[in-house]
Amino acid sequence: AAMVKETIRVYARVKPPGRRQQAGIYSVDDDEKSLSSLEIIVPHDLADGFVNNKRESYKFKFQKIFDQEAKQDVVFDSIAKPVAECVLAGYNGTIFAYGQTGSGKTFTITGGAERYSDRGIIPRTLSYIFDQLRKDSSKVYTTHVSYLEIYNECGYDLLDPRHEASRLEDLPKVTIMEDPDQNIHLKNLSLQQATNEEEALNLLFLGDTNRMIAETPMNQASTRSHCIFTIHISSKEPGSATIRRSKLHLVDLAGSERVAKTGVGGHLLTEAKYINLSLHYLEQVIIALAEKNRSHIPYRNSMMTSVLRDSLGGNCMTTMIATLSLDKRNIDESLSTCRFAQRVALIKNEAVLNEEMDPKLMIVQLKKEIQELKDELALVTGKERTSELSQDELLQLDELIETFLEDNDPDSTLDVGADMRKIKYCFVHVKQLMNHSKISDKKLLSQHISEEKDTNKEAGEEELKKLKELLQQRDNEINILVNMLKKEKKKAQDALFQLNAASAGSTVLEQSHSINLEESQSSSSCFSLKEAKDFSSSVHRLPFLSRQTGGKMSLGCQEAFEVFKRDHADSITIEDNKQLLNQRFTEAKCLGEKLNEVRNKINHLKGEINQRHVQRAALAISSPSEELYTLDPVEEKLRTEIEEEKKRYKTMFNRLKGLKVEIEHLQLLMEKVKVKLQKDFEVWWSEESINLQQENPEMVSSPNTTTVYPRFIKSSQHLSTSSFSETTRVSPNEDPAGKNNSITSNNPTLKTRTPPISSTSIPLTGDSQADADILAFIKARQNILQKKGKSCQ
Ligand code: ADP
Ligand code: MG
């Protein structure tokens, strides 16, 4: 098989700074032809504290360095596209991002949650791969995706649609199994089939949302866990038993930050330890791989290194992106990221074309071939070679021979069918008859027959021998394959289980309610954007949102959420995206209308051509002339017009398709921001509740205020699914100006700490939980208004 030996390609990407621009910390020497180099300059004031004060600048080589202004499409084109191409050709690929928390790993791998143009490597790769698959009709492709999160040496399946996790522990646990050939299998990781870009993106968003929901401030999953999104592709030429399988891992590693050992002056950096133990093991693996003559590579020390074993020094084309957040505070982390990258760049991988025979298919093919051979054999030898002809058959044959011999018609034949036994019997019988009579022309006949018989027999026997040999050969092959299959089956039991789970699971994701492009081509239908516009349709696609909503959200909580939503920074993003979405809808609608126009025009032109045909046919009858049999210039003109309209139709149609993808992406982005908003609110809400309880324990009759939090998780989702499409709506309980309330932003008393309103002035419900909510809300509102008051001054 084809093999590509290559060292791991290592790129660097520098994140744009937050607010303060710091010049002179690093410089990039970008050489188009060879490697680029990154120089990190350690400021004098820092140089003392760590590393070695004799050096103040460090140089690192990278395949290419993407500086602050590099856009996502450029990063995709140079880093991910070549890998995606290899994966399409049947090689394994891995792209992993390594860097400290906040340096842009997730931004690079998955993308930003705000703008469509911010989508990262995963969605762009999916889009690219499905585009390529569509273009290649020479093979049959199957694609699956999986999404694994590893936290604390435990794997979790982010794509299992049966689970509606609100905590990481609720997700199905994935474990590693190693077969006798030391291949790694991931038990419980579902492989979801994705037949197109849209399905794959939905799965990605499902996983990303599970990833976000599962995260609590306690476990800090996003900085402490590794996430591996994998695209599995298999391809086969029609009719062939050879299958190519390849995997593309897109990996967002845990933050690489370290803790420095305190109290060891001067050598803090070199003694610093990873916060995340598995990154320590990753480094061990990298070091071992870089060493020559090292036979044992400690992959098994952690789940992450086990899962990525092939990506590191194995059968894979691997690429690393070192993400850097290059400001003063992060110089030590950036240096260690770069050092790690330099080591990784030494590792050699050997990617082989993953071709295998499908034993099942092979057996089917061989069985067919054998049947054909048997038929052929039967034709030459007679069907059941072992058994004798029955008495009836013999009598029948005698009769046939007699009739044949008595028939004077020179054209008469003796036809006993393609059965060697019968043919042989006939010869024997005729021979006997011949021996009994001495008639000369009968002799002649017999001679003629026996000659024929000899040649026939010779040829037949030779062929028989050949066919028998072939049959033997095929039998052996089948035996071997059956054994192979048995072995394979044992090995693949685990994989098969996952496949089953996947096929069962994939039905859960509903077919999306999208603009039906196929339908739009038929002449009668029009574009229906209504469904696409109905935001709730995209909500149905994400099962976690449609989960049971349990109890209702209390009034206070609801109102607080509205206020929170308004003041939250993300609401701007939501509004922006909403506007953009509306714009796109209008565009799509407009395009749809135009498409209909063009279609009508085409139909009209077709009508004209038909009319023209009828006219000319009538003319040909009434006054025939030569001219009528030549090409009709008018018709030609109409045809060119149709062609042009068709071209227009096609371009518009493709644009509409692009719009559709963007619209769907925007909807999912909004969904994500929204979930994040809820989570932020939940955290804020429980904090507020606790504060309230601590400050005024007598006000809260509920002994356990923190229970507000879990109750809210469910109810807020209920609220949002129904009201998100109208975020601008003012809730009936809302008092945006705060005019009717004694707590207003104009109230100067609020700028100092005011005691909570006494319980008599607000309509308490008597339900202790609801009352706690209301009180918490009022308190929260005071805080918000106070903050607003301050910022206004
Ligand atoms: P990590 O995953 O490494 O912890 P993130 O990808 O979450 O880091 O990035 C941290 C923040 O910086 C996010 O708000 C992200 O949107 C932003 N960010 C990162 N890289 C870029 C970039 N290249 N351009 C713009 N914003 C970025
Ligand atoms: Mg991250």
Q: How far is the CA of 255 from the centre of ligand 2 (A)?
A: 7
Distance in angstroms (rounded) separating the CA atoms of residues 772 and 689: 8
Residues in a beta bridge with 96: 251, 320
Query: Which of 9-23, 82-96, 635-649, 730-744 is least confident?
Result: 730-744
Q: When comparing pLDDT for 552 and 357, which is higher?
A: 357
User: Tens digit of pLDDT for each residue in 690-706?
Assistant: 776 676 655 544 444 33
Coil vs helix vs strand at 92: coil
105 is in an annotated binding site: yes
727 is in an annotated binding site: no
Ligand 1 lined by 66 (C-beta under 6 Å): no
Ligand 1 lined by 112 (C-beta under 6 Å): yes
Ligand 1 lined by 104 (C-beta under 6 Å): yes
What one-letter code names the amino acid at 658?
G
What percentage of the chain exceeds 70 in pLDDT? 68
Mutate to test the pocket of ligand 1, among 14, 15, 680 (most ligand atoms within 8 A of CB): 15
Phi and psi angles of residue 191, each rounded to the nearest 5 degrees, phi first: -105, 115
User: Tens digit of pLDDT for each residue in 45-84?
Assistant: 654 555 555 558 899 999 999 999 999 999 999 999 999 9
Q: Whose CA is nearest to atom 17 of ligand 1?
A: 104
Q: How far is the CA of 174 from the centre of ligand 2 (A)?
A: 21
Average pLDDT over residues 324-350: 92
The ligand that comes nearest to the alpha carbon of residue 111 is 1
Q: Whose CA is nearest to atom 19 of ligand 1?
A: 104
pLDDT confidence of residue 532: 37
Phi-psi region of 184 (alpha: psi -120 to 50; beta: other; left: phi over 0): beta
The ligand that comes nearest to the alpha carbon of residue 324 is 1
Residues in a beta bridge with 58: 40
pLDDT confidence of residue 174: 95
Ligand 1 lined by 422 (C-beta under 6 Å): no
Ligand 1 lined by 693 (C-beta under 6 Å): no
Q: Based on DSSP, count helices (H) and strands (E) in the chain, helices before strands.
A: 23, 19
* pLDDT at residue 745 tops 50: no
Q: How far is the CA of 491 from the centre of ligand 1 (A)?
A: 41
Distance in angstroms (rounded) separating the CA atoms of residues 428 and 23: 108
Tokens representing 409? 């018609």
Q: How far is the CA of 323 from the centre of ligand 1 (A)?
A: 9
Average pLDDT over residues 12-38: 82
Average pLDDT over residues 558-569: 74
Nearest to 487 by CA among 314, 356, 315: 356
Residues 35-65: b if buried by 16+ CB within 10 A, e if exposed = ebbbebebeeebbeebbeeeeeebebbbbbb
Ligand 1 lined by 102 (C-beta under 6 Å): yes
pLDDT confidence of residue 17: 84
Provide the sign of the torsion angle of the four alpha carbons 361, 362, 368, 371, taken in this order: negative
CB 156 within 8 A of CB 186: no
User: Tens digit of pLDDT for each residue in 764-789?
Assistant: 445 566 656 656 666 666 666 565 55
Ligand 1 lined by 99 (C-beta under 6 Å): yes
pLDDT confidence of residue 737: 42
Q: How far is the CA of 224 from the centre of ligand 2 (A)?
A: 9
Contacts of 414 (CB under 8 A, 6+ apart): 400, 401, 404, 426
Q: Whose CA is nearest to atom 11 of ligand 1?
A: 102
The ligand that comes nearest to the alpha carbon of residue 256 is 1
Coil vs helix vs strand at 317: strand
CB 352 within 8 A of CB 42: no
Contacts of 328 (CB under 8 A, 6+ apart): 22, 25, 43, 46
Q: How far is the CA of 84 from the centre of ligand 1 (A)?
A: 23
Pick from 331-340, 411-420, 423-432 the range whose average pLDDT is largest: 331-340
Distance in angstroms (rounded) separating the CA atoms of residues 161 and 545: 12
Distance in angstroms (rounded) separating the CA atoms of residues 152 and 154: 5
Contacts of 519 (CB under 8 A, 6+ apart): 525
99 is in an annotated binding site: yes
CB 377 within 8 A of CB 418: no
Residues in a beta bridge with 245: 234
Coil vs helix vs strand at 730: coil
Query: Which of 364-378, 555-569, 632-646, 698-712 is least confident?
Result: 698-712
Distance in angstroms (rounded) separating the CA atoms of residues 297 and 287: 9
Burial of residue 636, with CB atoms counted within 10 A of its CB: 0-12 exposed, 13-18 middle, 19 or more buried: exposed
Ligand 1 lined by 232 (C-beta under 6 Å): no
pLDDT confidence of residue 434: 80
The ligand that comes nearest to the alpha carbon of residue 208 is 2
